[in-house]
Amino acid sequence: MKHWLALAASMLLPLLTACVSVGIGTDMPLQAQYLLHDASAPVPRRATPLVAALLIQPLPADASADSVSIAYSLRPNEFAHYQFASWTERPVRRVPRLLQQRLEARGVAGAVGLVGEPVRADWLLTVAIDTLHHDASAPPGQGRFALTAELFDRRSRSRIARRQFTAAVPSASADAPAAAVALSQSVTQVFDQLLPWLEAGLQQAAAVAPK
């Protein structure tokens, strides 16, 4: 009898170990929350702001960004979510605030606010998250982030510039913790691309705008 119990235990142990492994869709059964963040080093501040004030308006986002669930994809156009991992805040809210912090640190405008805050501004930057997911089709995969930005002159109600920014950062492993790191780094890379584009657009538009 003891022999059979020992044999059963030896066969069960690998199965239990496999059940708690951390991987695509098989995270450890312990809910973890990850903070999406801007991993950039401190940015040098401009000597003078380009404009007096700038407002940021988040637009409706891809479903993967309008949820606290962390999405992954094993096949094109097919998505799932890590069961025991999530964001601390929906990216559709978190990303615009991270961008606000980056622009404030850079000194792009005298004041940078989000639409709804008591800030008056002639310039509006809309941001729409097109995708935010762990592309695990070729493990360990990549953290993919795409964002479309549009700059508007609110006085003339005209669009000054529009561009989509994308980034794909390799994931260290095919699991939620590594995916969260790669996705934060992809957000950072997109901000790195967006900042010079925005500064150039504001500088050119402000130079010809009526005083």
Joined together, the tokens standing for residue 186 give 């992809």
DSSP 52: E
Residues of the chain with pLDDT under 70: 1-29, 210-211
* Per-residue model confidence (pLDDT) at position 5: 37
Q: Is the pTM of this model over 0.95?
A: no
Answer yes or no: are the C-beta atoms of 122 and 155 closer than 8 Å: yes
Q: How many CB atoms lie within 10 A of CB 32?
A: 15
Q: Which of 131, 159, 125 is nearest to 61 (CA)?
A: 131
* Per-residue model confidence (pLDDT) at position 159: 97
* Per-residue model confidence (pLDDT) at position 61: 83
Q: Which of 54, 194, 65 is nearest to 128 (CA)?
A: 65
* Per-residue model confidence (pLDDT) at position 74: 96
Answer yes or no: are the C-beta atoms of 42 and 110 closer than 8 Å: no
